[in-house]
A and B are shown apart, each in its own frame.
Chain A
């Protein structure tokens, strides 16, 4: 999350809403460790990563929903036969990603 603060401030300054997605659990081997994070704005900006490319687009769509609803969501991604060529993790692990809206003080 640390490395995303600059982007989040910028997006907020431009009048956009923001959600953060963070890897909160990893089972098996996954491309990014617990704490890896990605931020998304209501304008469609994206910074950071949660998996090194495998599930970012799916998380991006979920984050847009979270920005609209204002309600956080816990997502789980793992490799399965039908997901292998869709949104799956190449490394074969399972990750849990928590997506939450960011409320920022008006300063």
Chain B
């Protein structure tokens, strides 16, 4: 691997910049590499026709978060190109620096999320309690929402158990494109909350986006089990799966093969 392509790729990954690395794995120029970044490319596959094919293809596969090998023929011969996509990590935004949030922040980080935890209470929101979090934001929900980029790559868990935090967090995040918005609370809390949110101006369509009670039905009781239940729901949603046992499922086990 050329040093130039390797260091550009490593830097992009470290900075959460999306990058696709294209490698000739068969045919003339085997081993040649090209890194495709949002604003530039680094390296070359050794043939301008190959580079011209690879750059848009790399960006398309990156959008789909896919890696794959594709054949391509040009005047200099037939090759196989391996496209390896490194999409930026998804963000897990946690409202409430509570006990469950500690487990969720830790497991979320291990699963490759960029973890952001926010709470107005400085006593709870400490680096000692959240050693693996990428960002800690001390403030009210509207401040945290203003300071965070929330898009289709963002997953939100609202865990405060306190309507004066939960409801502004829900109203604020329902106005974004977040892929997942889950809120902790019993069935009764969840139902009461819907009534208050409707009074506050939330639409039926917005309320339908809320996953509450949060998580999958695995009987989670401890903070760690609740974190697993929430993350399992997020993973299933991310992959478009129904979270049923594989013993009764058909089709591909993996989302990405």
Contacts and interface: CB of A to CB of B under 8 A. Distances in A.
A35 B1 contact: no
Interface residues of A, number: 23
Contacts of A24: 23, 25, 69, 82
A49 interface: no
Contacts of A71: 31
Given A98-B23, A100-B23, A103-B6, A34 B256 contact: yes
B7 A35 contact: no
A79 B67 CA distance: 24
A102 B82 CA distance: 16
A105 B3 contact: yes
B69 A100 contact: no
A104 B1 CA distance: 8
Interface in A55-74: 71-72, 74
Contacts, number: 57
Interface residues of B, number: 24
Interface in B1-25: 1-4, 6-7, 9-10, 13, 23, 25
Contacts of A20: 1
Given A22-B84, A101-B1, A103-B1, A34 B257 contact: yes
Given A22-B82, A105-B3, A74 B25 contact: yes
Interface of A: 1-2, 5, 20, 22, 24-26, 29, 33-35, 71-72, 74, 96, 98, 100-105
Interface of B: 1-4, 6-7, 9-10, 13, 23, 25-26, 30-31, 67-69, 82, 84, 86, 253-254, 256-257
Given A72-B25, A96-B69, 13 more contacts: A1-B9, A2-B13, A5-B10, A24-B69, A25-B68, A29-B253, A33-B257, A35-B67, A74-B30, A100-B1, A100-B31, A102-B6, A104-B7
